[in-house]
Amino acid sequence: MDKIRVIGGRPLSGSVAVGGAKNAALPAMAASLLTQDRIELENVPRVRDILTMRNLLRDMGSRAEVSDDGTAVLQSSDIRSREAPYELVKTMRASILVLGPLLGRFKSARVSLPGGCAIGARPVNLHLMGLEKMGAECEIVHGYVEASVEKLRGARILMDTVTVTGTENIMMAATLAEGETILENAACEPEVSDLADMLRSMGARIEGDGCRTIRITGVGALHGCRHRIIPDRIEAGTFAIAAAITRGDVEIERCNPNHLAAVLEQLRRVGADVDSGKDRFRVRCGGTILSENVTTYPYPAFPTDMQAQYMALMTQGDGDSIITETIFENRFMHALELVRMGADITLEGRQALVRGNGPLSGARVLASDLRASASLVLAALVARGETWIDRVYHLDRGYDRIEEKLARLGAGIERVR
Ligand code: EPZ
């Protein structure tokens, strides 16, 4: 098991390029099931979840190659299995994204229920509600969703909760349904719009993505395409907080600052200088970090995937701040590890009270989920002495060699195999 060792106290400086968005590449790979033609993706990040999706598609009989240069070639001219097995799904919940495409093109699917994870129960009831509204029969048998349909029909679907992968699953299925689907209270995340762009380049008819109501008019078949994945706004935000917490000066490149406007605005509120360009932004932070409250909400508000990283920053704040997590019911696991590094954090339901109390001290800590791991790395960058982070496989699910990128910015960080 790899570990990450950090010696804290060094301000970061220099520039870092952001990779492709994991949460855009995963639905894009699943979308390749919607056509028999070849799909080429560019700017695919080299992270573990991408390889898990690749393996899932291969197990189904698809051709799926992901190269080190960030290109992926996918083709599901025909498939031999319409099943996403428990062994794979339990390691990556996003496997549920094959359900909509399989139903849309192959009319049946057997997908293991993802089950919960460290941050919450993670139900998929709204995915199933939407597909059932389109005529599918979905049954839960032995922990699997067994779904089938003669032909999906367009429907009017109102989502009780904003769900990113729920919106993506239904949007993909609707591209091959009979007639029009109106999806209300849809997710507006940039990754949803990126998927819609890709589907349109495959011949799909989709309008309104990026807003709360998406209209999809079904077509007979979709064809291949070449699509470039958008930059990862969460990786960009993670480096922005790394610059602020170490009182550094970092240029974050090859990203889209508009995709993380709420994060950059919050960094300005806590006293960082943030200058944005078209595909880059610069974060400088001299002295005091102000303690400012934040609440996570669906896009375009402050993203839940940046909450853990922001909590690490607030441990360095000049007073008290309250962080409210409205998306997931158990996304404070990182708080307990930050406390072991000397942070003063009190948890109360969906709220965390963070008392900025000066320097943290290095310790042995344990990563519990992807963004919690990032939070511990950020805290270690500013802690006194040495920090060891165990279970870094969580980190590798969503970050491509983050320790190398941080080391190039001057951090005292290394991976110990
Ligand atoms: C996506 O997960 C992301 N994953 C998550 O990123 C991200 O944290 C999350 O959206 C919120 O932005 C991918 O895109 C692969 P949701 P998803 O469905 O789609 C409830 C990371 O760190 N809900 O938007 O699974 C659910 O319980 C990961 O990269 C239902 O009740 O999240 C939650 O409270 C972590 N029923 C809320 O909606 C459903 O059928 C939002 O979840 C579906 C969801």
Q: How far is the CA of 27 from the centre of ligand 1 (A)?
A: 13
Cα separation, 166 vs 126, in Å, equals: 6
Whether 163 is in the pocket of ligand 1, judged by its Cβ within 6 Å, is yes
Going by pLDDT thresholds of 50, 70 and 90, the confidence category of residue 128 is very high
Ordered strands of the 412-416 beta sheet: 364-366, 386-390, 3-7, 412-416
What atom in ligand 1 is closest to the CA of residue 161? 38
Burial label for 291, CB within 10 Å (0-12, 13-18, 19+), is buried
Q: Which of 355, 344, 60, 30 is nearest to 168 (CA)?
A: 30
Q: How far is the CA of 164 from the centre of ligand 1 (A)?
A: 6
Whether 370 is in the pocket of ligand 1, judged by its Cβ within 6 Å, is yes
pLDDT of residue 115: 74
- For the record, the structure tokens of 93 come out as 């919940």
Q: Please check the confidence at residue 69 and state whether its pLDDT lies above 90.
A: yes
pLDDT of residue 390: 95
pLDDT of residue 122: 84
Average pLDDT over residues 338-367: 95
pTM of the complete model: 0.97
Active site annotation includes 117:
yes
Whether 26 is in the pocket of ligand 1, judged by its Cβ within 6 Å, is yes
Phi, psi (rounded to 5 degrees) for 37: -80, 170
Instruction: Give pLDDT tens digits for 261-320.
Output: 999 999 999 999 999 999 999 999 988 999 999 999 999 999 999 999 999 999 999 999
Residue nearest to atom 42 of ligand 1 (CA): 163
Whether 238 is in the pocket of ligand 1, judged by its Cβ within 6 Å, is no
Q: Which domains does the chain have, with CATH numbers?
A: 3-19+231-416 (3.65.10.10), 22-228 (3.65.10.10)
Q: Which of 363, 324, 359, 356 is nearest to 341 (CA)?
A: 363
Q: Work out the end-to-end distance of the chain between its first and last CA atoms, rounded to an integer number of angstroms.
A: 7
Residues near 236 by beta carbon (within 8 Å), at least 6 away in sequence: 18, 252, 255, 257, 259, 260, 281
Average pLDDT over residues 99-105: 98
| Residues above pLDDT 70, as percent of the chain | 100
Q: How far is the CA of 117 from the centre of ligand 1 (A)?
A: 11
Q: How far is the CA of 305 from the centre of ligand 1 (A)?
A: 10
Whether 120 is in the pocket of ligand 1, judged by its Cβ within 6 Å, is yes
Whether 166 is in the pocket of ligand 1, judged by its Cβ within 6 Å, is yes
Cα separation, 370 vs 322, in Å, equals: 22
pLDDT of residue 120: 85
Q: Please check the confidence at residue 193 and state whether its pLDDT lies above 80.
A: yes
Q: How far is the CA of 122 from the centre of ligand 1 (A)?
A: 7
Residue nearest to atom 18 of ligand 1 (CA): 163
The average confidence (pLDDT) of the chain is 96
Q: Please check the confidence at residue 34 and state whether its pLDDT lies above 80.
A: yes
pLDDT of residue 359: 86
Question: Of the residues 93, 95, 127, 164, which should be mutated to test ligand 1's pocket, given the most ligand atoms within 8 Å of the CB?
Answer: 164
Instruction: Give pLDDT tens digits for 203-260.
Output: 999 999 999 999 999 999 999 999 999 999 999 999 999 999 999 999 999 999 999 9
Q: Rounded to a whole number, what is the largest CA-CA distance in the chain? A: 63
Torsion of CA 202, 208, 210, 216, to 10 degrees: -40
Helix axes 233-245, 370-382, angle to 10 degrees: 20
| Residue 390 CA from chain centroid, whole number | 21
What atom in ligand 1 is closest to the CA of residue 329? 34
Q: How far is the CA of 41 from the centre of ligand 1 (A)?
A: 23
Tell me which of 117, 188, 211, 255 is the catalytic residue. Answer: 117
Average pLDDT over residues 357-368: 91
Question: Which of 117-121, 347-351, 377-381 is least confident?
Answer: 117-121
pLDDT of residue 121: 81
